[in-house]
Structure formats: C-alpha cells, structure tokens
C-alpha cells in the first residue's frame, strides 16, 4: 500500500517533470563527445544527434521530449525481462542454481574463467549469464519459445514488436565471441537445449525493434509491481519484480554499476544502441535514447540525464534518508564533463583515549530484553522525534510481536553448528561458537535485544564503512572517489591485487585493498592523533568511548603479510603515501576496536537516522555523506556475497570476521547480529539467516513492492 507521503512525492515530481525534461534536453543536446557503436554495421548507421527522453508514471502519465519515436534495437536491455520469464518458468531456486547474481566488475562480454563458472560468479546481465538465461525459456521447439518471448515483450510494451532481421542475421553470421561463450557454458552443462537454437533466440531478443517510449513503458511496468501502467495488463508476477530490479541495480551497467548506484542510485539497464532505462519503484519508469557512447560504452547523454534527474528530483534509493536540496547543472562542457563540489567536514579537536583493555571471553545474558540497556557510560536521553510504536508499525507488526519474532529467530538458528571461527593465532582468546546475539535499535532510540547482545567482539571489517565516512569528511567525495572506486567486484575481501587496470584505483573501499587506501587518507598530525580521531569517530556513533584490544592488534600485526603486500602494491601504483607501517598500524587498530551487538545496532541506527546517534542526539557524520556510505554498503558490503545479499535481503549491510553483521533500514532502524561461526566468504552464518528472515517477514527489502 502506498502511503500519503509517497502520493504527495509523486504529485510534486510529476508537476515538475515537463519543464525539467525540456531543460535537460536543451542542456545536453549540444554534446558532441562519444562514439556510435559500430561492432555491427547496422548500429553504426545511427545518427549521433538523435536524443529522446521519456518518463512513464505508474498511473499512466507519459512525458516525452525529443526523438522518442525513432526505432532502434533493444540490445542488452532485453536481458532483465528475459530473466523474469525464466523465473516464472522455473522458479527462483532453480534459476539461482544455474545463474549467479554477483557483480563481476568486468565488461559485458568478458570471457569467464573456469573457477568463476563453477562458483556461479556471473550474473544474467553479462553475456554468459544472459545466454544461460535464454536457454531456460520453455517451449517445445524454437518457434514456440520465440512466440512466448514476443508475447512477453508485448505485455511489457503494450504493442506487437518485431525482430530487425538484418541485425539478427548479421549477429548470427559474425558474433563469434558470443558463440564461444555459449560453448564454454555448454561445456559446464549450464545450457538447456541446442546451442544454435539458444543463440538464435538470444540474438533475436537483442534485435527487437523498440523506441524510447516503449522502453519507458517497460521500466514503468517494473516500477508498477509488474503491471503495465498504460494497458493494465500484468507482465510479470509481483513476487519476481524485486529480483529483477535488484539485479538491475547491482549489475545492470556492468563495470559501471558501482559508479551508477553511487551517483544515480536507481535500478537500470543499458544497451549499445544508446538507450538506458531506469526504474523508480512505485513512481515511474525513465528511458533515454542517444546513440553516442561514453566511458564504459554507456550513452553519454543518457548518463548525464539520469544523474541530473536523480539529483534534482531526489530519486536515489537512499535519498529519502537525507534532507538536502536538489541540483541541476547550469552549464556543461562540450566534452560532457560537469561536476559538483561537496562540503568538506572537519572533525573537532579530539581527546586522547585511555589504555585499551583486552575484551572479556564470555558474558551470558537473558534473552528477550527490551529497553533495559545498562550502558557503560549512559548518555543523556534525547526526546524522540518519532514514536517507536509508529516506527515498528511501518513493518506492520506490534512492538510485542516484534520482540517475540526476534526470540523465535534466536531459538530457530541457535542450534546451527556449521562454520569456522576466525582467530589470528591459536589460543589468543577463547571464542564460544554458541555466542549469538541480536539487537535492533530504532531511529527514535528504542532497543530490542535477544541473546548474547552484551558479549564483546572485534569490529573487524565493519570498521571500513566508518573509516570511509572519515575519509569523505576529511577530503570530500570527488577526491576520495579519485583514489578508491566504488565498483563491486565479486571477489573475496582480501583479494590481493584487485585494482583497476588503467587507473590502478582499488575497486571499492570494502575490500582490504581499498580499505587500506582509505585509512591512508585519514588526516592527523601523527599516528597518535590519527588514532585519537578514529576512536572519537567511533564514540560519536556508539555513544561511549571504545578501545583497541591490544593482544588482538599485536597478533594481527605479526600475521599481516598479505596486508603488507597489498600496501606495497598500492604504493607502487601511487595510491597511498607516507610510511606504510603507520598506515597498516592504523588500519589494524580500526579493525581491533571492541564493541558488542548493541553498539553495532546503535551505529546502524545512526546511519538510518541521517547520521544522528538516536541515543545521544549527536551528529556522528554529516548527512551529505550518508547516501555514500549506504550505497557502498549495499553493493559492496558483503564482498563476493553482495549480489545475493541485495537479491535476497535488500538493505545496506556490512560483515566482519569477528562474527558481526550490521544492517541499516533507512529511516527505521539499525540491525546487528553477532555469531562467530563464519561461512566460506567470512560472513556470520547465523547472521545471514537472521537478516534474510527479518527481511522476508517484515518486508525490509528496499525494492519490496
């Protein structure tokens, strides 16, 4: 059900749309940069001056400007819609067994390695996954499958669509790369049917003739929970809509997906014809068509239009957390480059922390407590702006039944005995595999706890989110992104040499390579001053002072050869400066801070509450940077499980090998789960189970219809 605020937001946006679209078309029409795709002769015939923008709202209003009726081939934009048909044909579990959902960080036509195929480290947006998806379309023969595919597109568009036979035949005769990819997938038993039939169907789906308005209607159908807003016909089962737009969000723009989600923050898909579609859930579908392609082979004008629309109309999925004015560029450079400045925030002078104690080995706590939190240094109580019952009511559950559900989840998953416990060296500290705590803190400061929520543990890699916030505050967004990118990789957290081929930037700040580069950016007069600033930053988020566990720090320092290797590679590429030992010491110190499950939930609630600690009322980070942190957590926070996390759980999160997982439900609450046994990716097994179930029960997925 759509609430009154959402209806008012819709009305305000649609009121502005005609003027905004006209202005953006006027602004970006003069761009002369970019190149028209020519790998197929038919694509090379496109006029570089073609430029159209269409918006279709969920209540069927259509806004167009420019060349919105010119036909072109749909190309890769067909992929998410064919994936939806495969889900309807086989169900979620079967399709996930065959085709992964992890971002690759690579181009759309990259050849996938043997190990990556075996571990499903590909997705339905790259060609390998898309060909496998097409093979799943049911039908007695090729003709029946073609017919079903065309009928599916008819439901999305609202009219008959045709295949561009010239382009289809061209791809069939000359597309040797996709034929090679198909044989590789066949070698691993991942295609169902004859290769020639599968490729014919795949080439045909990419050769369908559409126009800009058609694509906006298709996007509007996804925004409208699978119902075509023009015809009223259901094109896709509502249950699968969030799966499609989750994949579009994390993988829809290939090796540009991270930058896209960081800046634009909408589920989207691009194609080499020069089109981009975007979905604003519950509001509208957007399509831009302009053949000249820019970096990463995306429509140059298309990217610019989406960036401007997202900023001016506050369409980013995490914009609802932040209350800042919109932005529309006044002028552009003819080469297509325009940027905005971000506010630099400097920390105040910080105090020296006390000596760091070693964390206790065990503290048993009665399960199922609410609002009875004994804090080590209780902060002054802040009068809540919102009522906790109202917060929980957003989840369609009462506070009483909410804590009952938490108790039930604790009982359900406590018996799990799978996984390994991370220790930097044997006998350093005794860790009980049965430790298991859950804590939820709402943005009005109410606390719900179950199990071992007071048990201390090391923050480990969860620290990366908050160190990233410090770097943004110290240097500003543009400089930080120039040093560390925001692209998900699908690789493990400690991947040794995951830097970009050309820029040599680490792919994102959540993997160790990027995190070390981020720690190197933290300002300070010396090592002690930088550590003090780091600890003071934690204090603002948690609400009390925190300490570094010295034995754990020393252990990590003596067993850190991999991090030393990463640091020297970064210095070799000019990505870090100064003394490597000082940077690594600070990095390990930030990871060796002692917290508990409640602390972690308060940190999550602070991010959910626009950077304001809901327990103390203190601003922990400027609200301008909340969107940055949530975006990176959402796409990169769970490493090589990030794609599946977005697909199944659907809220920003970060894990650590200490057994903690932090989750953020923007505007509602922070979630923390602590349980030391880890899966092969270094994520808490019980923590993932709890978050999956919380998302399912209470509809916490950001793209939930």
pLDDT tens across 639-666, in order? 889 999 999 999 999 999 999 999 999 9
Sorted by where each begins, the domain ranges of the chain are 4-321
pLDDT at 454: 97
Q: What is the mean pLDDT of the chain?
A: 86
Distance (Å, rounded) from C-alpha 152 to C-alpha 290? 26
Place of tokens 């610019």: 304
pLDDT at 124: 94
| 493 is an active site residue | no
Distance (Å, rounded) from C-alpha 439 to C-alpha 450? 6
**In terms of DSSP H, where are the helices of 397-526?**
399-413, 463-475, 477-483, 512-519
Task: Spell out the residues 6+ positions from residue 489 whose beta carbon is closer than 8 angstroms to its own.
Answer: 103, 104, 105, 495, 498, 507, 508, 511, 636, 640
CA 368 to chain centre: 32
Which of 122, 493, 538, 639 is an active site residue? 639
Distance (Å, rounded) from C-alpha 42 to C-alpha 694? 49
pLDDT at 4: 59
pLDDT at 504: 64
Distance (Å, rounded) from C-alpha 670 to C-alpha 652? 10
Which of 298, 304, 464, 654 is an active site residue? 464
For residue 44 the two structure tokens come to 């090379």
What pTM value is reported for the model? Answer: 0.86
Task: Spell out the residues 6+ positions from residue 521 whose beta carbon is closer than 8 angstroms to its own.
Answer: 471, 474, 475, 480, 483
**Which is nearest to 410 in space by CA: 367, 440, 373, 369?**
367
pLDDT at 112: 60
* pLDDT tens, position by position, 321-356: 544 333 344 554 544 444 333 323 233 332 223 333
385: confidence class by pLDDT, cuts 50, 70, 90:
very low
Pick from 47-51, 182-186, 358-362 the range whose average pLDDT is largest.
Answer: 47-51
Which of 58, 65, 322, 657 is an active site residue? 657
- Fold classification of 4-321 is Beta-lactamase (3.40.710)
Pick from 186-200, 359-373, 598-612 the range whose average pLDDT is largest.
Answer: 598-612
Average the pLDDT over 54-64 and give the result: 97
CA 350 to chain centre: 33
Which of 461, 463, 495, 675 is an active site residue? 461
Distance (Å, rounded) from C-alpha 351 to C-alpha 531? 10
Distance (Å, rounded) from C-alpha 594 to C-alpha 547? 6
Which of 493, 587, 625, 647 is an active site residue? 587
| 240 is an active site residue | no
pLDDT at 380: 35
Query: Does 310 have pLDDT greater than 90?
Result: yes
pLDDT at 221: 98
In a 13 Å sphere around the CA of 108, the CA atoms on its Cβ side amount to: 22
Pick from 19-28, 101-110, 382-391 the range whose average pLDDT is largest.
Answer: 19-28
Helical (H) or strand (E) element with 277: strand 275-280
496: confidence class by pLDDT, cuts 50, 70, 90:
low
Question: Is the separation of the CB atoms in 611 and 623 below 8 Å?
Answer: yes
| 639 is an active site residue | yes
Distance (Å, rounded) from C-alpha 264 to C-alpha 81? 21
Query: Does 498 have pLDDT greater than 70?
Result: no
Query: Does 601 have pLDDT greater than 90?
Result: yes
Question: Is the separation of the CB atoms in 367 and 407 below 8 Å?
Answer: yes
8: confidence class by pLDDT, cuts 50, 70, 90:
low
**What single DSSP character describes residue 574?**
T
Pick the more confident residue, 150 or 328: 150
* pLDDT tens, position by position, 174-185: 888 889 988 988
pLDDT at 6: 64
């Amino acid at each position: 059900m759509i609430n009154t605020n959402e209806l008012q937001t819709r009305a305000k946006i649609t009121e502005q749309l005609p003027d905004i679209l006209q202005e953006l078309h006027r602004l970006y029409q003069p761009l002369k940069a970019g190149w028209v795709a020519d790998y197929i002769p038919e694509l090379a015939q496109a006029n570089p001056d073609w430029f159209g923008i269409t918006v279709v709202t969920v209540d069927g209003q259509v806004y167009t400007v420019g060349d919105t009726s010119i036909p072109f081939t749909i190309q890769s934009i067909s992929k998410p819609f064919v994936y939806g048909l495969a889900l309807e044909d086989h169900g979620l579990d079967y399709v996930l067994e065959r085709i992964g959902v992890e971002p690759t960080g690579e181009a759309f036509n990259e050849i996938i390695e043997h190990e990556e195929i075996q571990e499903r480290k590909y997705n339905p947006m790259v060609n390998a996954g898309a060909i496998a998806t097409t093979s799943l379309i049911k039908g007695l023969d090729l003709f029946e499958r073609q017919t079903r595919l065309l009928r599916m597109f008819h439901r999305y568009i609202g009219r008959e669509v045709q295949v561009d036979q010239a382009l289809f035949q061209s791809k069939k005769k000359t597309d040797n790369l996709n034929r090679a990819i198909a044989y590789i997938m066949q070698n691993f038993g991942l295609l169902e049917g004859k290769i020639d039939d599968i490729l014919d169907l795949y080439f045909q789906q990419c050769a369908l003739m559409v126009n800009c308005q058609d694509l906006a209607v298709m996007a509007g159908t996804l925004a409208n929970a699978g119902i075509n807003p023009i015809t009223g016909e259901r094109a896709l089962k509502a249950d699968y809509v969030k799966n499609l737009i989750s994949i579009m969000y994390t993988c829809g723009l290939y090796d540009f997906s991270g930058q896209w989600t960081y800046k634009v923050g909408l589920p989207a898909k691009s194609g080499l014809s020069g089109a981009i579609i975007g979905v604003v859930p519950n509001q509208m579908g957007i399509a831009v068509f302009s053949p000249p392609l820019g970096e990463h082979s995306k429509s140059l004008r298309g990217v610019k239009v989406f960036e401007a629309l997202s900023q001016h109309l506050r369409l980013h999925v995490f914009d609802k957390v932040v209350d800042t004015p919109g932005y529309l560029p006044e002028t552009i450079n003819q080469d297509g480059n325009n940027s905005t400045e971000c506010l630099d925030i400097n920390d105040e002078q910080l105090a020296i922390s006390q000596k760091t104690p070693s964390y206790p080995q065990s503290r048993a706590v009665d399960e199922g407590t609410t609002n009875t939190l004994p804090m080590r240094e209780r902060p002054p109580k802040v009068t809540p702006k919102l009522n906790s019952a109202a917060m929980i009511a957003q989840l369609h559950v009462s506070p009483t039944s909410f804590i009952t559900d938490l108790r039930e989840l604790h009982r359900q998953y406590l018996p799990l005995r799978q996984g390994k416990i991370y220790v930097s060296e044997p006998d350093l500290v005794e860790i009980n595999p049965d430790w298991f705590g859950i804590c939820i803190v709402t943005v009005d400061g109410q606390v719900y706890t179950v199990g071992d929520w007071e048990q201390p543990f090391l923050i480990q890699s969860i620290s990366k989110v908050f160190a990233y916030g410090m770097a943004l505050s110290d240097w500003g967004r543009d400089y930080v992104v120039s040093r560390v990118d925001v692209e998900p990789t699908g690789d493990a957290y400690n991947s040794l040499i995951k830097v970009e081929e050309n820029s040599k930037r680490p792919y994102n700040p959540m993997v160790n390579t990027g995190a070390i580069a981020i720690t190197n950016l933290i300002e300070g007069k010396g090592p002690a001053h930088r550590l003090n600033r780091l600890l003071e930053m934690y204090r603002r988020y948690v609400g009390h002072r925190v300490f570094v566990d010295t034995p754990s720090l020393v252990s990590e320092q003596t067993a850190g050869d991999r991090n030393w290797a990463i640091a020297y590679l970064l210095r070799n590429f000019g990505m870090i400066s100064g003394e490597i030992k000082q940077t690594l010491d600070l990095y390990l110190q930030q990871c060796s801070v002692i917290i508990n499950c409640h602390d972690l939930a308060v940190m999550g609630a602070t991010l959910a509450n626009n950077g304001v600690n809901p327990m103390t009322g203190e601003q922990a980070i400027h609200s301008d940077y909340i969107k940055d942190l949530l975006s990176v957590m959402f796409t990169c926070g769970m490493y090589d499980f990030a794609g599946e996390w977005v697909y199944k759980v659907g809220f920003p999160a970060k894990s650590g090998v200490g057994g903690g997982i932090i989750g953020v439900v923007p505007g509602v609450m922070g979630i923390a789960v602590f349980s030391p046994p880890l899966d092969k990716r270094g994520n808490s097994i019980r923590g993932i189970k709890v978050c999956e179930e919380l998302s399912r029960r209470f509809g916490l997925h950001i793209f939930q219809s």
